[in-house]
Structures are given as C-alpha cells and as structure tokens.
C-alpha cells in the first residue's frame, strides 16, 4: 500500500492505486455537476475529492458553505502555494465563506522557524500574494494560528476526542517528537472545523483544497468531527429491506433525544438513547435524511454541541519541480517564487526540464512528451486560461510541429508577464491590508 504522510511523501505517480487504497473519489466523476469549473478542475489538476458532494449541493442551491486552507510560513510562496490560493479564491467567488490560515504554530513547532520569521514570511510572502491573486478581504477571513484564541480553545476541546497512540500511528510520531508538534496537529484540525463554529454562522459544508499528501489530516479531522457529534443519524434497513432512519445519542441525554422526537413528524419508535423512524418512501429517503440531520444539528447546538458536517477536501496533483522530480525549497532552480524577479524566473523556465527529444530531427519525426514536460505543466496550470490554446500546444508537441526552444521562450515570456503583473498587484494588496481595520496591526 502506498503511504501518504503530510511531512514525507512528495512524489506519488499512481493516483489510481492511491485513491483505491485510501477511498478518495475521482474528481472527474462530479465535474459535470459544476456549472463553471475552475481550470484546475477542467484540466484534471484537481484529481480527487473526499465528500465534495455536500459542498457542491450547497454551491448549486445557494446555501451556506465555506472554504478553508492553510499555509505554513517556512519559505517562499511558490506556484504550489498559488494553486491552493486560486482554489480558495474560486470557492469564495462561488459564494463560499473563505478562510486562509497562516500555520505559524505548525511552522514554529515542526520546522523551528522563529515567531518573528513566521510573521514576516506569513505576511509578506503568503498573505500579500493571496490578496494580490484576488482574495476578497472584506468577505473572507485571514488569520495567524498564534493570534486566534478561539481556534486554540477549539483545538484544546478537539484534543478530548483523540489520543496519543492514534496521532502517533497516523503521523509516525516516535517518543522524541516534541509536544508542540503534536499540539500543532490539533490546531490544524481546529483550523478545518473552525468555519463551522456558531461565531461564523454555525455548521455548514466546508471544503479544504490541498495536495493529496494532506489526506491524513483530512481523514483524522473527519473522524474527530464525527466523534464530537452528540448524535449519529444513519439510514438502515429492516428485515424486509425497507429503509428506515436511526438516530442514536452518542454524547447526549434523553432530553435532547425527546426534543428531536418532538420536532419530527412520522412513525417513530423510541428507546432510551435512540429512536427509529419508519414509513419513509424509498424515493424520499435522501431528502428526509437531510431534513432530519438539520433538525438534529439544531438540537445539538441548543444543547451545547457543535453539529459539525464532516469536512470535505479536494486534492490536487503534486507539482513537479522545474528540474524534474520533486520541487524542493533548498533547490531554488526547482521552483518559481511569486516574489522573485520576473527576469530570473524567465531564465529558470528556459533551463527547465522538457519532454522533448534529444535532437530537433527526432522531435520533428516522433513528437515530444508534454505529459512529462515541466514547461507544459506551467503553461497548462498557470499561464494559459484558454482550453483550446492548451490543447493546441499539446497536439503540436505530440505531432512534432512544436519545438522546445521556441516553446520555452514563449513560456518564459508568459511567466515574465505573469510575475510582473502579480508583483504590481502585490503592491496594491499591501495598501489594502495596511488600511484594513483587522489587518493593519500586522505592519506595525
């Protein structure tokens, strides 16, 4: 079985096997239900999801949903971070309440980055680029973990639902791991669940756009969200295979269960700590389940619970380094930072690994391999909006009509313009943040 670990794996080729092993769903299967999908969705850059159906339904029915993701401030903001930012911004534009977190507690405990550097990198690399790329600061929420008392309180509370052995098994922690590192895991769980607190409008579907290596965090947080629930609502089947709905109290007293029963019409059978609902038409079961879940959530909130939805996630592919293989912050040639001089980035593009043949003659006769080309990946993921143009490049490369030297020169020019424009937008973003009531203190 392939292993995925948020701090370890950087190169997984066989997504199909990975998805089968871990139960991740293919994004392509729900693509047709999205009215105007982002190019990462259209082009298979977002490869998988977990529980995105709830988010999609909310988006299509214009009911509340949220998007959240975090950035660990330990180095330059590069194109991999930009992907997550683009996904947050897209969901915000689709009507989601957007949360962007600077994971400084994680960076400090896991990488040993000083608080001062966390603040500097978090603000000047990540937050400024996020706003420059289009994050709406009036509608969304940006925060540092270390400044958010509500988040820390939630992390503490979530810690009551998970134990040392479990966290150690998921993350491979040994006896020498520092305690703050373990706490930072709970803080990340809290990051993911925080948008569902009543201060932010209460329970709602939330999507976490991340790289596929972050799936262990998502699975753990889904488990914790479920454990924090007072009730379990399930569809079950009787001996005649007729469906019924079971509502089971996990952490609630009989008073809360009676209150739920009072609000639900229909044929009920009550027990000390659970009840069953019968007589539901098969065609009505999904709609009834949603209605019951809504009632149960309302009662949970009234009785001091959280009523969490299980958080959803979208998973994008790993981004290749420009030199081929993995992108590494210790190898500047392997990545492009959004804050580096456009000229230097363009030069890196010209030196990047391509999927071209050894000689021009061979390329003309046999064609290139855009699937293995970092230039094609840059064009497709970040530099060209028009699908037809991307397809044309792919076809021309395959047929041998397109040659790498000219192709790299085009990509270098596009990269130069993109970074120049982005860096101009960054200056405007700084102005916006410096004047903003909630964020201006970061610049003092």
Applying CB under 6 A, which residues contact ligand SF4?
A: 354-356, 368, 370, 373, 375-376, 397, 402-404, 407-408
Least distance (Å) from ligand SF4 to the CB of residue 353?
Answer: 9
Name the residue nearer to ligand SF4 (CB basis): 140 or 370: 370
Name the residue nearer to ligand SF4 (CB basis): 216 or 370: 370
Name the residue nearer to ligand SF4 (CB basis): 25 or 369: 369
Least distance (Å) from ligand SF4 to the CB of residue 403?
Answer: 6
Least distance (Å) from ligand SF4 to the CB of residue 354?
Answer: 4
Looking at residue 318, the DSSP 8-state letter turns out to be P
Least distance (Å) from ligand SF4 to the CB of residue 202?
Answer: 48
Name the residue nearer to ligand SF4 (CB basis): 127 or 383: 383
Find the helix or strand (DSSP H, E) in which 440 lies. none
First to last CA, the chain: 50
Least distance (Å) from ligand SF4 to the CB of residue 400?
Answer: 9
Name the residue nearer to ligand SF4 (CB basis): 243 or 325: 325
Q: What is the DSSP track for 367-392?
A: ---GGG-HHHHHIIIII---HHHHHH
DSSP E strand boundaries for 72-125: 97-102
Least distance (Å) from ligand SF4 to the CB of residue 317?
Answer: 17
Strands 97-102 and 206-211: unpaired
The residue written with tokens 């943040």 in the block is 433
Question: Edge to edge, what strands does the sheet with 274-278 contain?
Answer: 231-237, 243-249, 274-278, 267-270
Least distance (Å) from ligand SF4 to the CB of residue 322?
Answer: 12
The residue written with tokens 């701090």 in the block is 7
Name the residue nearer to ligand SF4 (CB basis): 396 or 425: 396
The Cα 138–Cα 130 span in angstroms is 13
Least distance (Å) from ligand SF4 to the CB of residue 61?
Answer: 41
444, 371 contact by CB (below 8 A):
no
Name the residue nearer to ligand SF4 (CB basis): 312 or 393: 393
Name the residue nearer to ligand SF4 (CB basis): 63 or 365: 365
Structure tokens, 335: 């990545």
Least distance (Å) from ligand SF4 to the CB of residue 349?
Answer: 10
Q: What is the DSSP track for 121-133?
A: HIIIIIIHHHHHT
Burial class (CB in 10 A: 0-12, 13-18, 19+), 81: buried
143, 442 contact by CB (below 8 A):
no
User: Which residues are CB-contacts of 434 (< 8 A; sequence separation ≥ 6)?
Assistant: 440, 443
Name the residue nearer to ligand SF4 (CB basis): 320 or 354: 354
The Cα 419–Cα 421 span in angstroms is 5
| Beta pairing partners, 316 | 46, 211
The Cα 398–Cα 371 span in angstroms is 10
């Amino acid at each position: 079985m392939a292993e995925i670990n948020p701090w370890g794996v950087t190169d997984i080729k066989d997504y199909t096997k990975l998805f089968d092993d871990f139960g991740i769903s293919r994004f392509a299967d729900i693509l047709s239900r999205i009215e105007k999908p982002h190019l990462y969705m259209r082009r298979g850059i977002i490869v998988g999801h977990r529980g995105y159906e709830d988010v999609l339904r909310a988006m299509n029915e214009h009911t509340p949903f949220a998007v959240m993701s975090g950035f660990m401030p330990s180095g330059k903001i590069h194109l991999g971070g930009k992907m997550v930012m683009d996904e947050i911004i897209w969901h915000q534009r689709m009507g989601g309440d957007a949360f962007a977190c600077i994971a400084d507690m994680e960076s400090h405990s896991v990488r040993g980055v000083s608080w001062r550097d966390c603040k500097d990198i978090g603000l000047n690399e990540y937050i400024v680029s996020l706003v420059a790329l289009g994050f709406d600061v009036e509608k969304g929420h940006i925060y540092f973990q270390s400044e958010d008392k509500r988040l820390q309180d939630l992390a503490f509370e979530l810690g009551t639902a998970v134990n040392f052995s479990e966290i150690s098994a998921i993350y491979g922690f040994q006896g020498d791991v520092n305690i703050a590192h373990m706490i930072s895991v709970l803080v990340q769980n809290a990051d993911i669940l925080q948008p569902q607190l009543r201060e932010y409008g209460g329970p709602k579907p939330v999507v976490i756009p991340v790289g596929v290596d972050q799936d262990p965090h998502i699975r753990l947080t889904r488990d914790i969200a479920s454990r924090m629930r007072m009730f379990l609502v399930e569809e079950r089947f009787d001996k005649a295979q007729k469906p019924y709905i079971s509502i089971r109290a996990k952490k609630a007293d009989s008073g809360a269960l009676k209150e739920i029963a009072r609000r639900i019409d229909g044929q009920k059978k009550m027990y000390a700590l659970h009840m069953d609902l019968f007589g539901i038409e098969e065609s009505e079961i999904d709609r009834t389940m949603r209605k019951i879940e809504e009632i149960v959530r309302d009662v949970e909130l009234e009785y001091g619970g959280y009523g969490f939805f299980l958080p959803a996630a979208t998973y994008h592919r790993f981004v290749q380094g420009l030199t081929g293989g993995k992108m590494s912050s210790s190898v500047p040639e392997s990545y492009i930072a959004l804050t580096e001089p456009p000229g230097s980035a363009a030069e890196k593009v010209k030196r990047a690994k391509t999927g071209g043949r050894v000689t021009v003659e061979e390329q003309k006769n046999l064609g290139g391999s855009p699937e293995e080309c970092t230039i094609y990946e840059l064009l497709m993921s970040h530099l060209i909006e028009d699908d037809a143009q991307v397809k044309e490049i792919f076809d021309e490369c395959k047929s041998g009509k397109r040659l790498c030297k000219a192709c790299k020169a085009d990509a270098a020019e596009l990269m130069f313009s993109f970074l120049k424009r982005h860096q101009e937008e960054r200056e405007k973003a700084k102005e916006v943040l410096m004047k903003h009531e909630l964020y201006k203190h970061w610049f003092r």
